[in-house]
Amino acid sequence: MKHTAVSLGREASRSAGSRFAFYGRVSTEDNQDPEASRAWQIRRARALIEPKGGEIVAEFFDVDKSRSIPWIRRPRASALIEELKKPSRRFDAVVIGEPHRAFYGNQYSLTFPLFEHFAVPLWVPEVGGPIDPANEAHDMIMGVFGGLSKGERNRIKIRVRSAMAAITATEGRFLGGRPPYGYELADVGPHPNPAKAANGKRLRRLVPHPAYSLVVKWIFAQYIKQNGKGLGDIAEELTRQGIPSPSASDPGRNPHRDQVAWSKMAVRTILGNPRYTGREVWNKQRKDEVLLDVDDVALGTTTVMRWNDRDQWVWSENQVHDEIVSIEDFERAQQIRQARARGEYSKRGNPTRRPYVFRGCLFCGYCERKMQGNWNNAQAYYRCRFPDEYALVNNLEHPKVVYLREAEIIGPVEEWLATGFSPERIAATIETMATQATARPDEAAELGKRLAACDRKLRQYRQALEAGADAAEVTGWINQVSGERQRVKAGLEAAPRAPRRDVVSREEIVRVLEQTGDLVRVVLEADPLDKADLFKEMGLWMTYYPQKRLVEAQVIPGPPHVRSVCVRGGYEPVRQTPIPLAASLPFPEVA
């Protein structure tokens, strides 16, 4: 039912003495105290409504969420919106203590129509009561606050970046974070800011580690000498000698990393770090905000880390800590890296015209790493190369190379997709899903959240690869998260299950499977070059178990804003459902 401005104004006039829901938000990026921030925001809200008989009966407070994130992607704000839609909601109006915290940019214009539609007054201190949708001054004030909020955030970013650049160039001060491998931190006196010094803050500087600095020198020497070793050879030699990797050398600060062996990414990172020359360097990377969906701007943006060109790096004017590698040797290493790269040096992955249908979807059952495409004898293969040294350190019985021919699995996969998700199988699939619909106790639920977080990170890292991030570095991140995912999955499978109370309705499942069936038909008719993107968009995840001679496949559709695909030939975009589904199929033995 459409609610007019007049009806909303009447609701607002009756809201005095009614029940209120409070909304607030705090971001911990700048070390804000969530409890203190909530306290002053709710105090300001109560000062507005209590003189008029209002009472707060429900709270929706987002913690650690940037103001740039739209309401539909803030957990508590989206929960508030869902409450607005319920006729039996616990409150009659909503009060916000600080509009700067709640609205950013055009978020007010995208959110307030919901309050107007459901006839729920929105109170803010800046207008002295409920917002009147027919009052142009109210609308202008709230729009100004959104613009001021965005401007404030941008000014903070500019000030911080300018200060960091100036400190790096003129003072060469250590700017925080983990010290590079080969260095350790030493105290050099109180902080120059008197307030921070009074709180015990100290300045630090980098000093060479007595043992690991020699490893860094050895890596550069082996790489830049005539007919020097490659990244893989250096990593394998260090692992063979039992030298601790960067994460293993400081396990207390790297609990999230695999501390088992050297990787090519670790060696490459060391060879590309200019801080070994004794100078402080800043601005090697930047954070870009990119749209989640170009067809739905209201979903907002996500932050993507990208590498800056070398001419944008900020170097200290003078040497500020002891060097481990001379500038000449460092520059020589960069020249060799460029010379060994294919064509013009780039941090982007090497593009291929080979139609690897399962690119990014196939993983090794031994080590959980993504299998790489390999073209051999005019056919597509997938392989996982695992050096002996890595297998020994990881206590894995991993063959040196695992091969799988694409032609042996493409038929079973397409047959499974054609039959398992066809309209004729909807009833059987519904029964299977209803049987498996369970909810886990608190411990298992927490493991489920951690597993979902690992999956999100893996998707983000793959998006970073597509956006042009350093392939070697991102691959290392993916391997680390894959290992964590394997451990969490094992714990989740061992956790007990309890009957589920919030089962997805059968109508929703039918709608989901019908949409999935449409996507399957598109996949089967697509050009081979398009199938890889389509399989990724539909959430295909395959694991090859060489020891069992089988492949296991799962399809887990994702949220609609990240599952939008379009292929050659004029197909319309096909959107998946936000309801997470999974189906698995063990394939027959392959040759």
pLDDT exceeds cutoff 90 at 249: no
Interatomic CA distance for residues 520 and 417, integer angstroms: 6
Interatomic CA distance for residues 433 and 414, integer angstroms: 21
List C-alpha distances in Å: 113 to 3, 122, 389.
10, 11, 61
589 Cβ partners below 8 Å, 6+ apart? 549, 550
**For residues 493-507, average pLDDT:** 49
Chain-centre distance for alpha carbon 392:
31
pTM over the 0.85 mark = no
Contact 561, 292 (CB under 8 A): yes
Kindly give the interhelix angle for 471-494 and 442-466, rounded to the nearest 10 degrees. Answer: 160
Interatomic CA distance for residues 373 and 384, integer angstroms: 9
Interatomic CA distance for residues 487 and 445, integer angstroms: 15
Interatomic CA distance for residues 481 and 112, integer angstroms: 40
Contact 78, 71 (CB under 8 A): yes
Rg (CA), the chain: 28
- Structure tokens that stand for 213 in this block: 């600095």
**Beta strand residue intervals within 440-484, DSSP E:** none
> What whole-number percentage of the chain has pLDDT above 90?
21
**For residues 303-316, average pLDDT:** 88
Q: Is the dihedral of CA 254, 256, 262, 263 positive or negative?
A: negative
Higher pLDDT, 491 or 111: 111
Pairing type for strands 285-291 and 550-555 reads unpaired
Interatomic CA distance for residues 13 and 415, integer angstroms: 63
Chain-centre distance for alpha carbon 422:
33
Lowest mean pLDDT among 51-60, 118-127, 380-389, 398-407: 380-389
pLDDT exceeds cutoff 70 at 552: yes
Lowest mean pLDDT among 136-150, 182-196, 225-239, 519-533: 519-533
pLDDT exceeds cutoff 60 at 124: yes
Q: How confident is the model at residue 439 (pLDDT cuts 50, 70, 90)?
A: very low
Q: Is the dihedral of CA 561, 295, 352, 529 positive or negative?
A: positive
Q: Is 510 helix (H, G, I), strand (E, B) or coil?
A: helix
Q: What does the pLDDT read at residue 332?
A: 93
Q: How confident is the model at residue 342 (pLDDT cuts 50, 70, 90)?
A: low
- Structure tokens that stand for 330 in this block: 């460092």
Q: How confident is the model at residue 195 (pLDDT cuts 50, 70, 90)?
A: confident
Q: Is 135 helix (H, G, I), strand (E, B) or coil?
A: coil
Which pLDDT tens digit goes with each residue over 456-470? 677 667 766 666 666
**For residues 407-427, average pLDDT:** 73
